[in-house]
Structure 1
């Protein structure tokens, strides 16, 4: 499926209208369709009005209840996948204020319990020192103090032991010199410190040996129900269970390549020392 960002906002209403039209063509009331799908009539109504987004599984269930032909199944399933995808462009986020995105992330973190972060090229804000966060925002114009404060306040979630975090960092992400060497040493020391928290696992993927796969993006999996993918120009959110499963499988594969525990901390200590002695 080819994704066109401008389509993503339209697809949800298009899917709702398509499902409603197919039901009417089949000569079924909302109540009869709900009974066939083992759903409530109110859920069918919300889906058809676009008030409640239909998951790809909901759509498949509805289409089979309507005995839709294979070509309809394929085209509407593709539309359902598109409808379960959200795109937030960086330019639009900047216009609204990037600090608002931090509140959205805080809400998502509050409502989730298990997190998988794959960090390809830099350290995520949850693990960052204030200096690293400031440097990561240096390309933005204007005063970013409010945004920095929001990013730092989100770090409190790490100390909630009801939540489980696994962070996988490539060697490039951990060592990329975004800030001066002494500050990089302190940033790496922070990774070592956080790795000792009981609900946090930090894994480092060293650039040695053969890698079984080559992930193309930084991504986060929330509770096996949502994946967010960071790109240079924005953030893509995927809710299709198949898309989520692909990223969980990729994460598991890379987890098998990572170093954890004492071995990981020894490696980080070596890199921290390297930064301190390089000045």
Structure 2
């Protein structure tokens, strides 16, 4: 079934977009249920089988903070690494990096904030102090030839500070890139972004000299704007988009955050625009339906709901 049409409105669209599938880490960390390692490993392998080439696998954050991912080492040992697929893991500090390196991890991510309030609440540090903490982690990883994704949360709005000024996003993104991050993912952590704000932030970053192919976007769908925001970013030249199978996830440290953009909803949009992703929508629907059974609740993805009963 294909209802896609390629638009002829003169606006540019890239021929291909890479989806960074964040379900196994960002999705599951916000679930109350703690899944067995075998289920998580099958989840990762199903995502790869569906065509994903970037699957954020787990987090090496202390289990006290994210108990849902306390089995990070066991999970990474349990999965079969496929050639040509990146399996980034989140590391909070040098100790987390050492744990990852011992397992042969080849891609990592660090998680920072644009706003001071969320940085203090999430990391217990100011923005400047968090960047100082990341510096040796990024340097060591780059020396080892490892790719480093820098997550920036609260790029569009903060529940305590309100609307975030574009120059602040530019400042922290520039500093994060100066550390050596190979990718910067711009997070709409509480889902308040709108297309105009997305365009303004991206225009500022691109004008500053940050290559657009090093930028990713990470939208939450709190106000139903995630797909509109994604399309705006794609038309600005962004070809890296974060999404979560079945719309899993949120942010355990920001109570107003709801689920991530659902991978299936994103696929329906991108494929309808004639943009290739390499990901099989039918396999994703089947995977999210399977996972919903293990979590004991239905997927919030509209596309999963629409297609789950079709063949």
TM over 0.5: no
Larger radius of gyration: 1
TM-score by length of 2: 0.27
Q: Specify which structure has the higher proportion of helix.
A: 1
